Chain A
Amino acid sequence: MLVFASFTYALEEEKEQTLQEEITEYIYHHVQDSHDFSLFSTKDKKTGEKKYYGFPLPVILVDDGVKFFMSSKLDHGKKVVESSGKYYKLYHGKIYETNSEGYISYDEKGKVTNARPLDLSITKSVFSILLVSILMFYLFRSLARSYNDNNQIAKGVGRFFEPIVIYIRDEIAIPSIGEEKHKKYMSFLLTLFFFIWFLNLLGLSPLGVNATGNIAVTFGLALVTFLITNLTANKTYWKHIFWMPGVPVWLKPLLAPIELLGVFIKPFSLMIRLYANILAGHIVLYSLIGLIFIFKNLVGSSLSLVLVFFISIIEVLVALLQAYIFTLLSALYFGFAVQEDDH
């Protein structure tokens, strides 16, 4: 039996290499943003041609005016699209300007030298963000409305979310920012928490969305935290940065650049933390799912399945945890920005 197994293993070694490569490629593609919303794909065994199932999304390019067409025209990079005299081609997930034949030129390092138009397409991630936003709006609007109809008591699905809203107010905002100043930050903190949480959960769904694991999204979130922190900061905050009280005078100029750097490092850490956690979670999950196909035997595959199951549960926890951490740290930064000089 063992001999037989190793024999088949030797036979399939070459094939397995390609399977591993395929899985790697699949994971890579999955964690990237995409211009289509593809749900799954099949591969023709004879021709090796991939067939995608899903729906196209609008492509919006800003290149001497706004160009608009559906992503189905790009056909996953197989076709060149002509739009008002210019030609575009999808290459490794990015849209490049090409000639009518779709020629891609490279420099000596193998980098593409073709020009890239400003791509404001409604990509898969943008689509998910929109979806989550609409869902959130509907959900919390209905919660707000249910109070009027039901004598100030939440009704329906809002009952589940109301304690979370109160938790964010009582356990995150008030302890970090303070009783009297937390109010103006509540809208941001609540939106932030549910936005990240829902996007994280959507990322765990079989739809295969990876919005919060994309650095552009986390950068956008961290930027808003950064702007709110520094735009609402009071005198004490700036004094603590540029002229730290309570330390010897000769130390003050030394501390200023460090503190100033901290202003940027704080939101930067927020950005990296969320991005890295979600991306790593997705890669681990997909690698383990890939392992099921690589093992191809009962013991290994079922072991991988169990692992996938547990990692999935952990990822559900991480989805909540990362949303909580991002919100809590944002609240703490706001707290630093508005605290009064009392020590």
Chain B
Amino acid sequence: MEKLISEFSSGLFFWQTIIFVTLIFLLRKYAWKPILDTVNEREKSIRDSLNSAKEAKKEMENMQAENKKILQEARAESDAMVNQAKQSGKELIEKAKSEARSEAEKILTQARSSIENEKRAAMNEIKNQVADLSIEIASKVLEQELDKDKNHQDYIDKLLNEKKFN
């Protein structure tokens, strides 16, 4: 310890302290302050950029979600529209079918009834003709009978043949 003190170099201590303190002040002005300021500024700008990037990402996510929602809505709407169109088309077809069916039925019924009528009219005509014919034949037969019994049958046959040709 005594040697340490006797060996102590006050000159070195003097210069060391002066140089060191001067160096602190010089470096503070010309190096540390600009370096630390720049580093802080840079860190701040990095932090800000990161934050804004995060915000932008969030915004984009929101937008995407919104887009998705809109898309879904649009799809649902179009689906509904298509379904509705399908439904109404089906209904239309169904209606047209039934209408057509009923129309056909109607026409058929009408045709049937008119056939029936025609048939009836024809029958009546036939009946009338048959009646007239019968009456004619009968009167002719009777006339023949009156003339000659023998030829009755022949005559009737002849008449009938005549009628057949008609």
Contacts and interface: CB of A to CB of B under 8 A. Distances in A.
B23 A162 contact: no
B42 A133 contact: no
B30 A137 contact: yes
A29 to B, nearest CB: 13
Contact of B36 (A126, A130, A169): A169
A166 interface: yes
A219 interface: yes
Contact of B19 (A130, A143, A219): A130
Contacts of B45: 152
A295 B31 CA distance: 50
Contacts of A136: 23, 27
A244 interface: no
A147 B22 CA distance: 24
Contact of A120 (B15, B22, B30): B15
A220 interface: yes
A305 interface: no
Contact of B23 (A123, A166, A191, A223): A191
Interface in B1-40: 4, 7-17, 19-28, 30-36, 38-39
Given A33-B9, A188-B24, A133 B19 contact: yes
Contact of A216 (B16, B23, B26): B16
B14 to A, nearest CB: 6
A216 B39 contact: no
B143 interface: no
Contacts of A169: 36, 39
Interface in A181-221: 183, 186-188, 190-191, 195, 211, 214-217, 219-221
A141 B31 contact: yes
A118 interface: yes
Contacts of A214: 9, 12
Interface string A122-135: 11011001100100
Main secondary structure of the interface of A (DSSP, over half): helix
Given A191-B20, A191-B23, A216 B36 contact: no
Contact of A152 (B22, B25, B26, B41): B41
Contacts of A143: 31, 35
Interface residues of B, number: 34
Contacts of B33: 187
Contacts of A125: 12, 16
A121 interface: yes
A316 interface: no
Q: Is the interface of B mostly helix, strand, loop or mixed?
A: helix
Interface residues on A, range: 35 or more
A165 interface: yes
A75 interface: no
**Of listed B11, B30, B45, residue having the most chain A CB within 10 A:** B11
A292 interface: no
Given A141-B31, A143-B35, A190-B32, A220 B20 contact: yes
Contacts of A191: 20, 23-24, 27-28, 32
Nearest to B28: A187
B49 to A, nearest CB: 12
Contact of B10 (A118, A195, A217): A118
Contact of A224 (B10, B21, B41): B21
B11 A119 contact: yes
B31 A129 contact: no
Which of A141, A162, A217, A220 has the largest count of B CB atoms less than 10 A from its CB?
Answer: A220
Contact of B26 (A119, A123, A137, A195): A137
A119 B39 contact: no
B35 A147 contact: yes
Interface of B: 4, 7-17, 19-28, 30-36, 38-39, 41-42, 45
Top 4 A-B residue pairs of the complex, sorted by shortest distance between their CB atoms: A140-B31, A187-B28, A220-B16, A144-B34
Interface of A: 32-33, 60, 118-123, 125-126, 129-130, 133, 136-137, 140-141, 143-144, 147, 152, 162, 165-166, 169, 183, 186-188, 190-191, 195, 211, 214-217, 219-221, 223-224
30 contacts: A32-B7, A60-B11, A126-B11, A129-B16, A129-B20, A133-B23, A137-B30, A137-B31, A141-B30, A143-B31, A143-B35, A144-B30, A144-B34, A144-B35, A152-B38, A162-B35, A165-B35, A165-B39, A187-B24, A187-B27, A187-B28, A188-B24, A190-B27, A190-B32, A191-B28, A191-B32, A195-B23, A214-B12, A215-B8, A216-B12
Given A129-B16, A165-B39, A188-B24, 6 more contacts: A119-B9, A129-B15, A144-B31, A144-B38, A152-B42, A221-B16
